[in-house]
Structure 1
Amino acid sequence: MTILVAPDPNWPAVAQALCDEWRALKLVGLQTIHHIGSTSVPGLPAKPVIDLMPIFDTQPHAAEAADAVTSLGYEWMGAFGLEGRHYARRDDPVTGARQVQAHCYPQDHKDIARHLAFRDALRDNGILRAVYTREKARCAALHPGDTHSYGDCKSDWIKKAEAKALEHYV
């Protein structure tokens, strides 16, 4: 199984359509939705999974979105290991392949700035994007077909890059 695929110029349009689905639910307290992760960076190879970051005005409103979001075919996972986040994912019903991950946060959560700063740094800095592409390829080669080990492999590099991005984008 290949973890990474070539950049798809359609990813932003797919993300926009997914955001429109969320907005159509008229979720109480939904402030905005960001497209994050590698598919949000033009030219960056990625796992073909769209990452969304819905931002709610409060933690309770984020939690209350569960029933409505599951009506769109998402599996609501709660915090799923990260305090203050609500995670939902949607897989293709035919193939079982992951399609979308949604990382829902209340607007005052510290991880929002981290996600946005890293995304924006990758969008703005071709050298950083090239180095990250090499790191992703290295980890994919070391852990073919194992997305968890792949993520763990690149984790330290990402944390360092996020810290530098936060210095410049926040």
Structure 2
Amino acid sequence: MGSTAVPNLKAKPVIDMLPVVKNIDNIDQYNQKMMEIGYEPLGEFGIKGRRYFRRGGENRTHQIHMFQEDHTLEIERHLAVRDYLKSHQEARIEYGNLKERLARQYPRDIEGYSDGKNDFVQALERRALEWKRKNSRCRSSGSAQ
């Protein structure tokens, strides 16, 4: 669901996954199993209702962002951004250029890199959600656009 899921988007080599489960509280019992296969369980890690696992520590290669099925806003937000970037070349190029510039500016500072993207990503999320909802209404009403 992350940047590597968007063709032609500049991205760090990190695979982001978004499993959706019936009951998020049941996931914590699998922390030991996740560690056995190389994932570090980090709990909510800043997003209420999420279970976050990463593989590779600070040099991570994989991230799992797990949500309960009724946590629809977070799920929709992540998928809308992915789909929007796939469909909007100008936004994809702009985001890729920003990420590249920040990666050069903050080569070993993930917080600086993330902070540098924050305003752009929040605006991107708003546009993507609006676009997704508009397209969903068009499809459900039978309108062709």
> Which of 130, 136, 143 lines up with 1:167 in the alignment?
130
Q: In 2, Cα distance between the equivalents of 1:65 and 1:156?
A: 35
> Which of 102, 106, 122 lines up with 2:85 in the alignment?
122
Q: Is the 8 A contact 2:10 2:97 kept in 1?
A: no
CA root-mean-square deviation: 1.6
TM-score by structure 1 length? 0.72
Q: In 2, Cα distance between the equivalents of 1:73 and 1:141?
A: 28
Q: Is the 8 A contact 1:39 1:48 kept in 2?
A: yes
Q: In 2, Cα distance between the equivalents of 1:101 and 1:113?
A: 18
Q: Is the 8 A contact 1:89 1:102 kept in 2?
A: yes
After the TM superposition, which residues 16-165 of structure 1 pair with which residues of structure 2 at under 5 Å, given as runs?
Answer: 36-91=1-56, 97-109=59-71, 110-165=73-128
TM-score by structure 2 length? 0.83
Shift of 1:141: 2.8
Q: Deviations over 1:49-89 (max 9, x none)?
A: 11111110122233333233223111111111211011111
Return 104-113 or 132-141, whichever deviates more: 132-141
Count of matched residue positions in the alignment of Structure 1 and Structure 2: 132
Return 142-151 or 63-72, whichever deviates more: 63-72
- Give the structure with the higher percent helix: 2
Q: Is the 8 A contact 2:44 2:52 kept in 1?
A: yes
